[in-house]
Amino acid sequence: MSAARPGRRLAVLALFATAMGWLEAVVVVYLRALLGVAHGSAAPAPDELTRGIASLPWLIGTEQGREIATIVMLATVAWLAAPRPLTRLGAFLIAFGTWDIVYYVALYLLLRWPPSFAALDLLFLIPPGPWWIQPVWVPLAISCVMIAAGSRLFSPPERRRPR
């Protein structure tokens, strides 16, 4: 993919990240069903969700493995999208930010969740810790910063505006 023009590489990268974001939201729909959370009902509080996940001993490891696989897939497509380390980092940041925003949009379309940007969410399970429970606006804001920084790194040096 790196032989293609930057605009095409960016479009393919965004398409991949969009599909991944949708897929991740579908996984959440299945997880909710597995945990007994009715389709369309409000999500349980993150600490309640953590207890529910812990009640199925195999689920934590499975989810952590899925999270690692997600990062590996995003890093792999970033590697393919750009020829140099900094542009690869930019591609990763764009892909990650796009994936995360699409994930929340898809959750809203599929479940009507989150009901607001202030709703708490369990963001990751790796590494385990209480800092991963945040309002939805936090990962969305971080994703916007990631996309902006990634776009700066991804654009070819000759196309960057001088300061």
- What b/e sequence results for 83-95 when a residue is b if at least 16 CB atoms lie within 10 Å of its CB, and e otherwise? eeeebbbbbbbbb
pLDDT digits (tens, 9 = 90+) for 127-148: 877 778 899 999 999 999 999 9
Structure tokens at 78: 């970033």
Looking at per-residue pLDDT, the higher value among 158 and 2 belongs to 158
Q: Span 3-8, mean pLDDT?
A: 77
pLDDT recorded at residue 2: 47
Measure the CA–CA gap between 72 and 85, rounded to whole angstroms. Answer: 16
**Entry field: residues in the chain:** 163
Q: Where are the alpha helices (DSSP H) in the chain?
A: 6-34, 46-54, 57-81, 85-111, 137-154
pLDDT digits (tens, 9 = 90+) for 115-128: 999 998 888 878 87
Q: Indicate the domain borders of the chain.
A: 6-155
